[in-house]
Structure 1
């Protein structure tokens, strides 16, 4: 009976004898007294943390293991803490080896931390619950942590990554509110995004709160094979922050407020220069005058307000604020760990009258150890984001972006300067900026509401053998509402003090769009990890499935008046209802890691993938990869040589090869479909809606494949203060889609042949990085840089055909194996014509009219084939890539810390891509203003009123309103091309952390203030005021703004 439970029924409960009961009570009293005394036996200790050179380590974490109390060192490396007399301190700091020191009743402790600058024990997350020490990584993987991301105050998470990852290219081609840089890995295309183990698109990455990110790992080579489909362009693996075991409650609040300043936008010409260009055109062409000398002189002299140039650039583009605030709580016990975060960002628009973009983010990560073997976790993240601006025809930003040129400098936005009455200020009334606001144009609003719930469970079956499951539900609702008003333009009758309507825009639209995206992801895996003597094994097998539906509804109405916000059946003109476009994918995964003595490392992985896109029998594909690594510095022969051991402290050689799948083609192309509501006919007096066949079905489309080889080396010198890595890669892309041209079908069929997996391309390149980290006195500093070169080549083409050797030469870029892709062809320039006499004596017919259209200052072209005529037979390969990501991208970073003051700077740059000068930077449009840059640098008459006054030859031809792209001086040629090179200061930040001895008095463990800037300046090899990342060649894009922020970060 002694072993029976005390909670059994009275008849079977064990009863203590009275004498034993008294002894038990006495023992409990003595025990409680001892506990009370022990609880009071705390001591106050002080100490100092220094490095191996005796210098103070500022901000080192000091935590007592038993009492759980903690603090950080001040600017002199000192700390004070209340601990138990038998406690153990854990002292840690980034870049140093963590130490544990027993208190042993001491009142003062000095701790020396040893630098660990290589951080080979750093963990790199590669996904599927897998993480590896950096030392054992055999693939080409770049990573960055939360500390580096925190210094880039970007609206988007992608923006915070710019310049920090070798082999990863970023390019922000516009600065619209909420816009993010485009990301590519080694110029391979859009990568796959993994956030906390779940596949997402780049939009979800961009809209993460950068403050919630713990780490980013980028898989650049065949190591991405485990992710199967859509991973051929590389994988970006994101993990969000989580609480840690036995972590003391930590509250962090950080935020900033700043201003966005317009920059890098080509300025329009002033009124006097605009009129001068018109006068010059009329003088050269001998056409009637539209501007008299007297009127022109009034504008030059600015005789009154009516004759003062209106600066449309300054009026349309305004400075605007942006703000950010985030509060997060993290901590943990032995069993429960948590991280909770709430953030909000507000980015107002830089176009006058435009509201901009705002987003609210929520992140909640909770992990619970149910038992020592069974663990569960729940992660919830959500966001609400809104874009708000006036409702304008087409792209709501285009009209204002072009507004500085569409609106003439001799006009003003409002009649009698009254904002209630928009005036016509552009040759096309709709281009007039005065009506582009909420009152006169309407409103466009685009809102996303997104939530994702991840549930995970892990059970340790045996030591090292774990089963893990993940289930994710993602729901995104998008609602777009657009109301475009009719509008009126006015003139002011000063004599009668009335405003008269001179033109009316009658188009009214009310649009509604509702879209829902719903995705379910499940992942089940079994992993095993163990060490046997010098052998270490880590293996995983698993299954992953994903299903998504994407229904959408759209309605367009034409309401009878501006004030009607709804669409009824009488005003409805268009209605579409999407069926949801269901998509299903699944795959089986496997990976094995083995290393011997931490010297010889092998990794094998593979994935058997299936996609809904293809017909049965072609839906599945197997995509394997293998990699090896050799840590030479772990060999005995290396350690036995002092010079090698002391100077080259890390040398790892690695190589990988794999085949990755690519989903190509449209879904279900093996099935004949129909387009409904395509045409129609009247039958028996009624309209019958028509349907058409989508095209010929094909059974010959399946996976494309990318064979990726990577060979790399990692190096560490001088006790790992200097680190470097280099990777060479090539990618052979096969199974690209193309159609056969040599199979004829009757034209009456009305279809072309479907595409098949026929062609191939390949890429070659390298990426490299170097980093130096050291300390001089109290100054810690880091300098690093990286560079990436990647270029695509033409592979196989299905039976290429050419009508002549010239055509073969001319179109080699897309059709000849081994040639570069994206090569620009154009005429080759040979300077400029200096006079009428030179034009008259020129032996080559350049304009196909005996050179009668040529003028001094025009571009002169080389007759490459010597036939006396300039035409497309004289075109040659010129320049590098046009548009997209440059072939060469580089970045360098600088970090300094000194006694609480810190400095960070990130520079990015590129070269080997071609900029083509277009639009307002090349022509004087007949209905618009011209750029001030073009006027200042173009050829001009000495006297704009006298055609015989001679010419001042400028950098560019005459800016004449009657000239456009058809004029021979504007034909495609290297005269208008520049091989661009630039360097941009992407981020810079200066901060100061207040001494802890000040902040601890008010319960603050750390308080930092900073000022930061983005896009403050760029150096480039062109003198045009245009952002080098903007892909709009005429400069007409929403410019990337200069940003200055003032911020703080406080830990409690």
Structure 2
């Protein structure tokens, strides 16, 4: 007999009956607990534990612990990315602790965000580059784009300057459009698109603009994926013509709660100085210039020789950018959840100083919330993410701290009086302004960014899912420039002034989708059908106030004597689309993806408002073939893939197809400001790609090679018009085709993989060629002297340099048409200004609790110098003294003209290539201390950025887009502490 108690009722069952009739399932349920660790004994959070042959399961908490209810004879399936999956029978046990073994091959199954769907490296038919949270947070950067340099094949990121907040330039596989604004990629943050065009500014950021990604917290980013080829980008239609940057933020834990704090402080300096002339060298060169010209030095033309102290010395480079910019950053996040609900709440604060001689600061505060919820039957899913950021940028309003200051003569007088005011006497005596004119101007730029997304999905039937994504963004900038009279020469009776600039971008998007997944024998299929409705409203307001009675009132428009140059504008943009994707695979060996999209944009006239785009991607995993397995056993993975398709481009101004008018200053009048052209249509980018991916020696060596060719035609430009028409341009399609072709190589090797020691190396190389392959009748167009068929878009037309005239000592150039003058017709030498190739090599080394990572970025590119105008009242590179083929020192007008022409020739060309230690990161886990304090992790870290640059280039920064005349990168060393509770 057997005794069983249920709810206090005693049951007496015969043993024979018990054997013949198994105990009901309810009676077999029990609670199983345990801990999951790796081979080093460290707990693994986030491990999925599923009851075999069911959809029910749990996830380990931050301590690697789990708790699940299951039948005594069930089987638990433990799985986690990067580890081998284990199936463990329960066999009536109540405590099951297991250890997972690392699986290099499983790393290829990491989920990759492809936008509207997820894929893996193994199954992807497109080309998608990816960086992870660890690679991003190891870099003390403001914008996440700065963390991509040297890490992605085909992705070229150029810094916009050393000032915090400056927008970087990102180009994905080259320049496609003749228009600058036609080359920006699409930014998607948690499923919500935001404008990638930098925001306008009148401060020191005016040349680069303000980066719209500044308000994101890099430490809150889970991954960044960049979609490059037709198969990956076609589902975004016209918005993905120049590639897509997908930013995914972090989400919460599914079990338990956790608190994480990360704090660091950093110091940034200029890593490089120009080798300039010393005082004796400079004065000797100046005196020699007057002797060469046969001119008598006077107080007007030689004030540095006659009026200024010959023994005075100022290191103007040290004065301008010799400071140390201090940075403080603090991050705090709280995560938690249950089996059905998870959440993450975080915030951060960042403060960065300046290298310049002023009290300028950059402040940023961010907040983020992520929430994900499943119903009990796992059919309904609700998720939301909110990212909010506000920054406060104080930069010099009109202060030029460029070459005009740091190339001052070394014996130039002081710029400040003892009381801190600007010194004018010695500068006015020389007939020139104080080089720090505008020093007390104040620029205060504040931006706010709010990005919210909510998605809902419901599984109607097995494999059939309805989904809707709702997004909203709001981005505003408020800029106030205060211009006090004391910034300028009092002899000119300057007024107190202010300049105001406000911009706003607001958008919403709705994307309903139908998803279906099914499997019929060896055939597996995925289907997506969706629609997009998007609207964006933009506005801009600017004005100036003058005549403030006192400096304290500047900015208060009610106190201004006069308001001038007031302007206001607003635009609306509407976008709609239908899209679909069919993905098939046979036996997980042969893959075909078909994508189609029909786009509609309000930027085109009614006749051309809609257009169709699509792509096809195919892949063959040939290592699944039996004959490959038998013959090439060392080949653990092999895939051939290819894609072809077209995407559009509508990145032009709004309302270009309509006549535009503005009100006259007098009442009741209008005047035209632009011509209408209702017939221009979409710019089209056709993309072709082929690639191979290999895994060798059980995926210890992973290699990929890609070849691509992108052709952008029907170019949309503001076509220049003759002045007689009364208009500058008209929007039109040009019969031009731009081609970008190139190769990309990537490989990763797992050099050592032991319990206490691991070493991984990653390498990427990109070589690309940009070319204008067609433009009928270009010689008759206004672009004849800008572009050349058969050459890249980024070219320089140069004079043919014929050497230094031995009699005059001046530069000479070929007068091609022999008309007695040099003009555009004589610029016959065409120079490519693009990079030849670029890439990076990184190493990750882990030894017990110590982790070390470094990245070398390399670039092969042309360079250019311009600090060699010897004989003028400006310091020059000491390189001049050792170069015999340069112009003699001269102060003459003819010498200035010759030097100006030399700037438009090959005289000052240099090799601008460089090898840079972009990132170096070291960290150590204080395991014993963490245990004593009851912490999950206690980590000390030390990071460095732009630590070493190896180059033969003699300018300030070979990466600078202005020929090395500005600073693009600072050397930053940071140290901090990370705690997990």
Alignment check: 8 A CA contact 2:438 2:487 kept: no
- Please give the alpha-carbon distance, in whole angstroms, between the structure 2 residues aligned to 1:900 and 1:692: 72
Cross-structure match for 2:145: 158
Q: Structure 1 stretches of 5 or more lacking a match?
A: 1-21, 29-37, 51-55, 74-79, 490-500, 681-686, 834-838, 841-853, 940-951
Q: CA deviation at 1:959?
A: 3.6
Matched, 1:1037 2:966: yes
- Please give the alpha-carbon distance, in whole angstroms, between the structure 1 residues aligned to 2:459 and 2:628: 39
Q: CA deviation at 1:154?
A: 1.8
Q: Deviations over 1:448-495 (max 9, x none)?
A: 122222221111111111111111222223211111000178xxxxxx
Cross-structure match for 2:635: 648
User: Paired residue for 1:930, among 875, 878, 886?
Assistant: 875
Cross-structure match for 1:1007: 938
Residues 63-462 of structure 1: pairs in structure 2 closer than 5 A: 95-99=82-86, 101=88, 111=99, 113-117=101-105, 119-128=107-116, 130-188=117-175, 189-202=183-196, 203-222=211-230, 223-245=232-254, 247-266=255-274, 269-289=277-297, 307-317=311-321, 318-372=323-377, 373-392=379-398, 396=399, 398-399=400-401, 402-406=404-408, 409-415=411-417, 417-420=418-421, 422-423=423-424, 426=427, 432=434, 437=439, 441-462=440-461
- Please give the alpha-carbon distance, in whole angstroms, between the structure 2 residues aligned to 1:877 and 1:337: 63
CA distance 1:666–1:736, shift in 2 (3 Å):
same
Matched, 1:506 2:514: no
Q: Secondary structure at the match of 1:617?
A: helix
CA distance 1:971–1:206, shift in 2 (3 Å):
closer
Cross-structure match for 1:942: none
CA distance 1:697–1:979, shift in 2 (3 Å):
same
* Comparing 359-368 and 447-456, the one that deviates more: 447-456
CA distance 1:430–1:183, shift in 2 (3 Å):
farther
- Please give the alpha-carbon distance, in whole angstroms, between the structure 1 residues aligned to 2:913 and 2:945: 19
Matched, 1:781 2:759: yes
Residues 716-755 of structure 1: pairs in structure 2 closer than 5 A: 716-737=695-716, 755=732
- Please give the alpha-carbon distance, in whole angstroms, between the structure 1 residues aligned to 2:908 and 2:32: 78
- Please give the alpha-carbon distance, in whole angstroms, between the structure 2 residues aligned to 1:552 and 1:62: 47
Cross-structure match for 1:1016: 947
Q: CA deviation at 1:271?
A: 3.8
Cross-structure match for 1:18: none
Alignment check: 8 A CA contact 1:675 1:691 kept: yes
- Please give the alpha-carbon distance, in whole angstroms, between the structure 2 residues aligned to 1:420 and 1:983: 43
Residues 697-712 of structure 1: pairs in structure 2 closer than 5 A: 697-712=676-691
- Please give the alpha-carbon distance, in whole angstroms, between the structure 2 residues aligned to 1:145 and 1:745: 51
Cross-structure match for 2:887: 957
Q: CA deviation at 1:624?
A: 0.9
Q: CA deviation at 1:320?
A: 1.6
Q: Secondary structure at the match of 2:896?
A: coil
Residues 549-628 of structure 1: pairs in structure 2 closer than 5 A: 549-561=537-549, 562-565=551-554, 566-568=556-558, 571-574=561-564, 576-628=566-618
Cross-structure match for 2:471: 472
Q: CA deviation at 1:908?
A: 1.4
User: Paired residue for 1:714, among 671, 687, 693?
Assistant: 693
Q: Secondary structure at the match of 1:550?
A: strand
CA distance 1:671–1:991, shift in 2 (3 Å):
same
Alignment check: 8 A CA contact 1:356 1:388 kept: yes
CA distance 1:44–1:183, shift in 2 (3 Å):
closer
CA distance 1:1047–1:99, shift in 2 (3 Å):
farther
Matched, 1:1028 2:952: no
Q: CA deviation at 1:321?
A: 0.3
Q: CA deviation at 1:376?
A: 1.2
- Please give the alpha-carbon distance, in whole angstroms, between the structure 2 residues aligned to 1:793 and 1:860: 31
- Please give the alpha-carbon distance, in whole angstroms, between the structure 2 residues aligned to 1:530 and 1:650: 26
Cross-structure match for 1:771: 748
Residues 38-57 of structure 1: pairs in structure 2 closer than 5 A: 49-50=38-39, 56=40
Q: CA deviation at 1:727?
A: 1.0
- Please give the alpha-carbon distance, in whole angstroms, between the structure 2 residues aligned to 1:116 and 1:276: 66
Cross-structure match for 1:5: none
Alignment check: 8 A CA contact 2:31 2:94 kept: no
Alignment check: 8 A CA contact 2:289 2:871 kept: no
Alignment check: 8 A CA contact 1:384 1:448 kept: yes
- Please give the alpha-carbon distance, in whole angstroms, between the structure 1 residues aligned to 2:569 and 2:815: 58
CA distance 1:1042–1:967, shift in 2 (3 Å):
closer
Cross-structure match for 2:200: none
> With structure 2 as the length reference, what TM-score do the two structures score?
0.85
CA distance 1:488–1:141, shift in 2 (3 Å):
closer
Alignment check: 8 A CA contact 1:546 1:586 kept: yes
Alignment check: 8 A CA contact 1:425 1:433 kept: no
CA distance 1:799–1:64, shift in 2 (3 Å):
closer
- Please give the alpha-carbon distance, in whole angstroms, between the structure 2 residues aligned to 1:25 and 1:575: 88
> With structure 1 as the length reference, what TM-score do the two structures score?
0.80
* Comparing 58-67 and 375-384, the one that deviates more: 58-67
Q: Deviations over 1:754-807 (max 9, x none)?
A: 63353222222121111111316543111121111222222332434469xxx9
- Please give the alpha-carbon distance, in whole angstroms, between the structure 1 residues aligned to 2:304 and 2:250: 65
- Please give the alpha-carbon distance, in whole angstroms, between the structure 2 residues aligned to 1:68 and 1:118: 19
- Please give the alpha-carbon distance, in whole angstroms, between the structure 2 residues aligned to 1:27 and 1:518: 69
CA distance 1:651–1:482, shift in 2 (3 Å):
same
Q: CA deviation at 1:381?
A: 1.1
Alignment check: 8 A CA contact 1:422 1:488 kept: no
Alignment check: 8 A CA contact 1:460 1:467 kept: yes
Alignment check: 8 A CA contact 1:648 1:719 kept: yes
Cross-structure match for 1:497: none
CA distance 1:620–1:107, shift in 2 (3 Å):
closer
Matched, 1:822 2:822: no
User: Paired residue for 2:862, among 911, 914, 921?
Assistant: 914
Q: Deviations over 1:860-890 (max 9, x none)?
A: 7689999999997775435422xxx524221
CA distance 1:367–1:81, shift in 2 (3 Å):
closer
Alignment check: 8 A CA contact 2:115 2:246 kept: yes
**What root-mean-square deviation, in Å, do the aligned CA atoms of Structure 1 and Structure 2 show?**
4.0
Q: CA deviation at 1:48?
A: 7.6
- Please give the alpha-carbon distance, in whole angstroms, between the structure 2 residues aligned to 1:296 and 1:665: 51
- Please give the alpha-carbon distance, in whole angstroms, between the structure 2 residues aligned to 1:720 and 1:967: 58
Cross-structure match for 1:14: none
Alignment check: 8 A CA contact 1:735 1:758 kept: yes
Alignment check: 8 A CA contact 2:192 2:509 kept: yes
- Please give the alpha-carbon distance, in whole angstroms, between the structure 1 residues aligned to 2:9 and 2:674: 93
User: Paired residue for 1:972, among 888, 904, 927?
Assistant: 904
Q: CA deviation at 1:961?
A: 3.7
Matched, 1:756 2:736: no
Alignment check: 8 A CA contact 1:1007 1:1049 kept: yes
Alignment check: 8 A CA contact 2:334 2:344 kept: yes
Q: CA deviation at 1:732?
A: 1.5
Q: Secondary structure at the match of 1:120?
A: helix
CA distance 1:306–1:567, shift in 2 (3 Å):
farther
Cross-structure match for 1:498: none
Q: Structure 2 stretches of 5 or more lacking a match?
A: 12-27, 50-56, 176-182, 197-210
CA distance 1:173–1:356, shift in 2 (3 Å):
same
CA distance 1:93–1:923, shift in 2 (3 Å):
farther
Matched, 1:990 2:922: yes
